[in-house]
């Protein structure tokens, strides 16, 4: 597979071009991405097939690093002590514009390239969030910009950030703590979706933590009075969380996953472990929930005579919307126009929707009008932490059927075929065009930075993570 990818990479010197206007530069960027479409498709498909989960994306990150090096970037590995995190840099001077690229998969949703549910590898991971397209498109945009810096049409520095583990541990928080984004004037970001939209919606902040309960074993029938059940404590903890749901804001979310609950039925269990996630529209609101969850765990332990331990996994901030950047991005989305699909692609999408029990409305390739700045409607992302330390411009591009379930086989079925590939190429073009606006117009960079300064919190950014590198344990 790697030989095929590298065989598609074209090498050659670019002739200096002076005085090109912005329209010509943007057309050149689009052409560059189109010329590499086959190579980019092979890269995204290789990552799709690897389908590696958080902190284990060794092959996926290596594919992107190798491509970046082949294109002339200086690659720095093991960023923030994370073996799959890296930076690929080209150019000198200002402005310094970064672009984020994710590549981790979702556990347990392997799917073949077909519109009906069937695992490619039973029990394996799959790209149900399109991160195989995410990292590839962002690197493609960086490469297109690099070519324009190389030939003298643009001036400045471009940095592609390979950012692992977005689905579970949120590696960008560790990268932000290490200061790797501090050098940027502006950061670019996109995310695969089921529509084309400039980023005006924030995200939910969250905290992830584990609660461990410790009791004493005994025979569950002969002498249960001599035991103290850790599972009883855990069940009372979840009961407390579930009663708490009635008294939280409508924007709040509570999730948990039981990871350990005893071993056999005839022994009073002395150990239980549960992973909990709390979400709200701001870090401050998450803090309120977090304190209550600790009280609930303490109460569960008191009621059962057990001991408990709280262990922070990580936490992320909400996205700080940059309205100025969104308006610049919107103009480029409108210039690109909609994505067109074949009858076969539309039929493929509708088969997925039928299988998933959703209305069969095909694929939405139209550009959404610029929206008002919106509170979080659903998910969370560690891009929120990046946006707290540097102005961040965001977008979404269509890679899957309209309205199908996300983080599911229905998305995996699209991210490894032409529907996903089209969204990837579209995103690469929109990102590079917006970056060109910033490189060519210093006043736009300053306007984006002013927007960031106006909206950022007066409190200093403090990452919610423990000392040391990230761990899934």
Provide DSSP, 323-349.
HHHHHHHHHHHHHH-PPP--HHHHHHH
Q: How far is C-alpha 126 from the chain's CA centre?
A: 14
Nearest to 153, CA basis, from 328, 64, 32 = 32
Average pLDDT over residues 372-379: 85
Can you tell me the distance from the alpha carbon of 9 to that of 40, in angstroms, rounded to the nearest whole number? Answer: 9
**Partners of 307 in the beta sheet?**
214
What six digits make up the tokens of 130? 């399109």
Three-state DSSP class for residue 252? coil
What pLDDT, on the 0 to 100 scale, is given for residue 376? 85
What pLDDT, on the 0 to 100 scale, is given for residue 10? 35
In tens, the pLDDT along 5-19 reads 444 333 333 333 344
Helix or strand run (H / E) with residue 22 = helix 22-35
Task: Measure the CA dihedral 444/449/450/451, to 10°.
Answer: 90
Task: Measure the CA dihedral 44/49/54/55, to 10°.
Answer: -90
DSSP 226: G
Helix or strand run (H / E) with residue 67 = helix 58-70
Residue 34 has pLDDT above 80, yes or no: yes
Task: For residue 83, count other CB atoms closer than 10 A to its CB.
Answer: 15
Three-state DSSP class for residue 386? helix
End-to-end CA gap in the chain: 33
In tens, the pLDDT along 193-252 reads 999 999 999 999 999 999 999 999 999 999 999 999 999 999 999 999 999 999 999 999
Question: 283: which residues sit within 8 A by CB, 6+ positions away?
Answer: 205, 315, 317, 318, 464
DSSP 198: E
Can you tell me the distance from the alpha carbon of 193 to that of 137, in angstroms, rounded to the nearest whole number? Answer: 14
96-100, 134-138, 374-378, 443-447, range with the lowest pLDDT? 374-378
Question: 32: which residues sit within 8 A by CB, 6+ positions away?
Answer: 143, 144, 147
pTM assigned to the model: 0.93
Which domains are present in the chain? Answer: 2-203+318-455 (3.40.630.10), 205-314 (3.30.70.360)
Can you tell me the distance from the alpha carbon of 351 to that of 271, in angstroms, rounded to the nearest whole number? Answer: 46
What six digits make up the tokens of 125? 């991971």
155-164, 372-381, 463-472, range with the lowest pLDDT? 372-381
**Partners of 207 in the beta sheet?**
278, 315
Phi, psi of 125, rounded to the nearest 5 degrees: -85, 170
Summary mean pLDDT of the chain:
95
Antiparallel, parallel or unpaired: β 271-280 and 205-214: antiparallel
What pLDDT, on the 0 to 100 scale, is given for residue 309? 98
Contact at 8 Å (CB) between 401 and 353? yes
Nearest to 64, CA basis, from 14, 92, 29, 100 = 100
Phi, psi of 34, rounded to the nearest 5 degrees: -60, -40
Contact at 8 Å (CB) between 386 and 176? yes
Contact at 8 Å (CB) between 52 and 132? no
Average pLDDT over residues 1-6: 44
**Partners of 160 in the beta sheet?**
88, 99
Can you tell me the distance from the alpha carbon of 374 to that of 169, in angstroms, rounded to the nearest whole number? Answer: 26
What pLDDT, on the 0 to 100 scale, is given for residue 431? 98
Residue 363 has pLDDT above 60, yes or no: yes
Helix pair 323-336, 418-440: axis angle to 10 deg: 120
Task: For residue 375, count other CB atoms closer than 10 A to its CB.
Answer: 13
């Amino acid at each position: 597979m790697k030989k095929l990818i590298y065989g598609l990479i074209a090498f050659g010197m670019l002739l200096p071009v002076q005085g090109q206007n912005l329209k010509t530069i943007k057309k050149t960027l689009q052409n560059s991405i189109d010329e590499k479409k086959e190579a980019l498709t092979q890269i995204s498909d290789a990552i799709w097939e690897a389908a590696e989960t958080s902190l284990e994306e060794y092959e996926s990150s290596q594919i992107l690093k190798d491509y970046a090096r082949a294109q002339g970037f200086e690659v720095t590995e093991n960023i923030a002590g994370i073996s799959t995190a890296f930076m690929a840099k080209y150019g000198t001077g200002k402005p310094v514009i970064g672009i984020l690229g994710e590549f981790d998969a979702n556990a347990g949703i392997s799917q073949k390239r077909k519109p009906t549910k069937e695992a490619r590898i039973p029990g394996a991971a799959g790209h149900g969030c399109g991160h195989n397209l995410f990292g590839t498109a962002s690197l493609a945009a960086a490469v297109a910009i690099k070519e324009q810096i190389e030939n003298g049409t643009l001036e400045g520095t471009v940095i592609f950030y390979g950012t692992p583990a977005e689905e579970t541990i949120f590696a960008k928080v560790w990268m932000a703590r290490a200061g790797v984004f501090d050098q940027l004037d502006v950061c670019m970001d996109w995310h695969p979706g089921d529509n084309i939209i400039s980023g005006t919606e924030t995200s939910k902040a969250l905290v992830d933590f584990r609660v461990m309960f410790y009791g004493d074993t005994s025979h569950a029938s002969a002498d249960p009075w001599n035991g103290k059940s850790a599972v009883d404590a855990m069940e009372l903890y979840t009961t407390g969380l579930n009663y708490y749901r009635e008294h939280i804001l409508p924007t709040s979310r509570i999730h948990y996953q039981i990871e350990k609950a005893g071993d056999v039925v005839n022994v009073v269990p002395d150990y239980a472990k549960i992973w909990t996630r709390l979400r709200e529209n701001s870090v401050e609101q998450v803090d309120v929930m977090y304190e209550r969850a600790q009280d609930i765990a303490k109460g569960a332990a008191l009621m059962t005579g057990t001991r408990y331990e709280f262990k922070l996994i990580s936490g992320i901030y909400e996205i700080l919307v940059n309205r100025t950047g969104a308006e610049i991005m919107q103009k480029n989305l409108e210039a690109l126009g909609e994505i067109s699909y074949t009858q076969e692609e539309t039929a493929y999408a509708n088969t997925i929707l039928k299988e998933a029990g959703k209305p069969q409305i095909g694929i939405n390739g139209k550009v959404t009008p610029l929206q008002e700045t919106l509170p979080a409607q659903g998910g969370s992302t560690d891009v929120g932490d990046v946006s707290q330390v540097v102005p961040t411009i965001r977008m979404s591009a269509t890679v899957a059927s309209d309205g199908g379930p996300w983080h599911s086989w229905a998305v995996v079925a699209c991210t490894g075929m032409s529907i996903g590939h089209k969204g990837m190429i579209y995103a690469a073009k929109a990102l590079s065009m917006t970056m060109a606006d910033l490189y060519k117009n210093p006043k736009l960079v300053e306007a984006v930075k002013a927007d960031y300064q106006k909206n950022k919190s007066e409190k200093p950014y403090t990452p919610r993570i423990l000392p040391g590198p990230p761990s899934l344990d």
